[in-house]
Amino acid sequence: MSTPSVPSPSAWLRGSRRPSWLSDPKVLRTEVLGGLVVALALIPEAISFSIIAGVDPAVGLFASFTMAVTIAVVGGRPAMISAATGAVALVIAPLNREHGFGYLVAAVILAGVFQIVLGAIGVAKLMRFVPRSVMVGFVNSLAILIFMAQVPEMTDVPWPVYPMIAAGLALMVFFPKLTTVVPAPLVSIVILTVITVAAGIAVPTVGDKGDLPSSLPVPGLPDVPFTLDTLTTVAPYAFAMALVGLMESLMTAKLVDDITDTRSSKTRESLGQGVANIVTGFFGGMGGCAMIGQTMINVRVSGARTRLSTFLAGAFLMVLCIVFGPVVSDIPMAALVAVMVMVSVATFDWHSIAPRTLRRMPLGETVVMLVTVACVVATHNLAIGVVVGSVAAMVVFARRVAHLAEVTAVTDPDGGTVVYRVTGELFFASSNDLVGRFSYATDPGRVVIDLSAAHIWDASSVAALDAIETKYAQRGTTVEIVGLNEPSARIHKTLSGELTDGH
């Protein structure tokens, strides 16, 4: 087994070519404005996730700052946004509640270490086993979750909120028809903020979510005893956070790959997520992973494509909080809700639920997509949905392939030999009923099993063939297995006679 290559830090910093934003003013403008829009959208979300984790709002904002800035340098997927997320907040909230903030910070650092180890051993390669139907379900459930997260901001609120949201959506739909020089979401936020402040309209604002920090985070060690007992306490939470963060980040990276028609290093992304979480932990942040909603704002809505937008999203976040805190606090939540609703609409794969698509798509594919969506929406955990969806896809695939295994019998003219021709893939699902496809009582004294059109994949198939030979042997019938291809012959020779007692 070859050891996966790990890029050196110097290679990470060097890059493979000169950044496009250095030579193209249009790209630079897109990246800067994209980072600004993301930073504005990050503030209320980071504060909300801090509340979920049971920590001060500044903790979530610091995490978003350090995650975005660090991942911009060490991550594998350009333009992807990493920050404090709800999935991570849900995982570490019980640890903070039961043991305190110091243990939460220790768990974040240890989770980063776990992610580096998982990345180095090649766990990112498992992404190729995620089928397309699960990816579609992942995208659709993400869009639903983004919309659902906005519902609380649209209930039990003053009536002006609703026309403001409608106006924000209208601006984002029609403004790009006039010009695309400035991102429509930024225009929408600025116009609605100016109207709200100038007219003195009483609606919920960003400042209502919590106080913004007034200074930069300071590095330090977690306030915990460095003992084995501490390690055993934080390790389960850290490992869960590492897995959830990696899965969400790798799925997001794959989604951005598809949107931009480019490839990215998933191994480097895994390592980068680990480094970002370690840095975030030492700066007292709550940790995080890829933020799918903000990534969609950056990539799909703003059109950003480079690491600069990711770096600036984190940098602008702190500038907005520290320097322009009073102004940012006056931004109406309705403006940000409109942006996120537009993101959810743009993210949803409407083609996947079109009647024409559903008629042509195999039923199993549609079921897998719906199972993924249902699990994610029910648990609010994208990682659980992806795992359950992938398992469902494997079951559907196994059932489909199992039915392709066929057995046909041809008796020689002299009546002394019968040849059974087996076609298809032999594995645990298809080989379970293989034993019942032979006529043991009526067959002549010699049986030939022709496997030239079949392939043996596992021990279950070898055990089934052994059982067939045993049943014939009990009746004095000679069995000959022929036509095995090289891999099938190898596994049959290795396991035949070794899987049951009495051989």
Per-residue pLDDT tens for 328-384? 888 898 988 888 888 788 878 898 899 988 888 888 899 999 999 999 888 877 778
Q: How many CA atoms lie within 13 A of 142 on its CB side?
A: 26
Give the DSSP letter of residue 332: B
Q: What is the mean pLDDT of residues 418-446?
A: 88
| Number of helices and strands in the chain (H, E) | 20, 6
Q: Where are the beta strands (DSSP E) in 103-217?
A: none
480/477 Cα distance (integer angstroms): 10
Give the pLDDT score at 1.
43
Kindly tell me if the per-residue pLDDT of 327 is higher than 80. yes
Comparing CA positions, the residue from 276, 248, 240, 221 lying closest to residue 105 is 221
259/271 Cα distance (integer angstroms): 23
Which pLDDT band, with edges at 50, 70 and 90, does 185 fall under?
Answer: confident
Least confident of 7-16, 284-293, 311-320, 322-331: 7-16
* Terminal C-alpha separation, the chain: 33
Contact indicator for 383, 87 with CB cutoff of 8 Å: yes
Contact indicator for 119, 267 with CB cutoff of 8 Å: yes
Which secondary structure element, helix H or strand E, spans residue 24, and what is its range? none
Quick count: other Cβ atoms within 10 Å of Cβ 377?
A: 15
Q: What does the block give as tokens for 351?
A: 């083609």
Strands 446-456 and 478-482: parallel
Q: For residues 498 and 39, which has the higher predicted lDDT (pLDDT)?
A: 39
Strands 446-456 and 417-426: parallel
pLDDT in tens, 166-177: 999 999 899 988
User: What are the helix (H) ranges across 225-306?
Assistant: 228-260, 266-282, 292-296
Contact indicator for 295, 42 with CB cutoff of 8 Å: no
Give the pLDDT score at 113.
97
β-bridge partners, 449: 420, 481
Report DSSP letters for 113-161, one per residue: HHHHHHHHTTGGGGGGGS-HHHHHHHHHHHHHHHHHHHGGGGSS--TTH
Q: For residues 413 and 50, which has the higher predicted lDDT (pLDDT)?
A: 50
Which pLDDT band, with edges at 50, 70 and 90, does 17 fall under?
Answer: low
Q: pTM for the complete prediction?
A: 0.72
50/93 Cα distance (integer angstroms): 9
503/500 Cα distance (integer angstroms): 7
240/244 Cα distance (integer angstroms): 6
CA–CA distances in Å: residue 395 to residues 144, 260, 426: 26, 31, 15
Average pLDDT, the chain: 87
SS3 for 67? helix
Contact indicator for 64, 84 with CB cutoff of 8 Å: yes
What is the torsional sign of CA 41, 347, 92, 112?
Answer: negative
Q: How many CA atoms lie within 13 A of 321 on its CB side?
A: 30
Comparing CA positions, the residue from 382, 289, 316, 348 lying closest to residue 77 is 289
243/149 Cα distance (integer angstroms): 23
Contacts of 2 (CB under 8 A, 6+ apart): none
What is the torsional sign of CA 212, 214, 215, 221?
Answer: negative
